[in-house]
């Protein structure tokens, strides 16, 4: 059923929509797909600005899209709007119209589907997913960082320093 259903939270009693984050890292493609399946992901949103890898060619945009869609998981690339490596830093980029447009697209996809945002970094706190997660929590989402098929953590927004 697609429609206007709310994605079931993995936390008892929670009624917030959930967005997952995960990094493909050095995993095999099969392991990455198993992780997405273990969490019931319906849409995998690629937020790599440069979606390719010479060292891990199975994570090139075209190959990855083809393989995961073959497993019934929709692939969406939003790296042009939400990808890292921005001149001036990612936090400054988050104030731009391009970022806001990308965030709006992500939120729309997450309204009716179980989505996972992914990039190449295994640990969410070492990449731009940490900033994206803060923004999603601000927008009312519950963000779950996936480590492997069984381990995950709930995102707790960072305290912002006053300047």
Other beta carbons less than 10 A from residue 141's beta carbon: 20
Q: Which CATH class is domain 23-154?
A: alpha beta
Alpha-carbon distances of 84 from 48, 51, 123, 134, 154, rounded to whole Å: 7, 11, 14, 15, 22
- pTM value? 0.85
φ/ψ of 96, rounded to 5, equals -85, 160
Extents of the domains making up the chain: 23-154
- Per-residue pLDDT at 163: 47
pLDDT of the chain, 163 residues: tens digit per residue:
333 334 445 555 557 899 999 999 999 999 999 999 999 999 999 999 898 888 888 999 999 999 999 999 999 999 999 988 888 888 899 999 999 999 999 999 999 899 999 998 888 988 889 999 999 999 999 999 999 999 999 999 887 655 4
Between CA 55 and CA 92 the distance in angstroms is: 30
Between CA 37 and CA 3 the distance in angstroms is: 21
Centroid of chain to Cα 81: 13
């Amino acid at each position: 059923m697609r429609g206007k259903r709310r994605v079931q939270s993995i936390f008892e009693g929670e009624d917030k929509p959930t967005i997952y984050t995960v990094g493909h890292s050095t995993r095999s493609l099969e392991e990455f797909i198993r992780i997405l399946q273990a969490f019931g992901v319906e849409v995998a949103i690629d937020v790599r600005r440069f979606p390719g890898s010479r060292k891990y060619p199975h994570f090139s945009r075209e190959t990855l899209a083809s393989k995961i869609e073959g497993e019934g998981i929709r692939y969406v690339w939003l790296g042009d709007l939400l990808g890292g490596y921005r001149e001036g830093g990612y936090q400054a980029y988050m104030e731009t119209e391009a970022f806001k447009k990308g965030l709006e697209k992500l939120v729309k996809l997450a309204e009716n589907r179980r989505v996972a945002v992914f990039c190449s970094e295994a640990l969410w706190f070492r990449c731009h997913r940490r900033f994206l997660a803060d923004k999603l929590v601000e927008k009312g989402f519950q963000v779950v960082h996936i480590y492997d098929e069984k381990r995950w953590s709930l995102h707790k927004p960072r305290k912002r320093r006053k300047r």
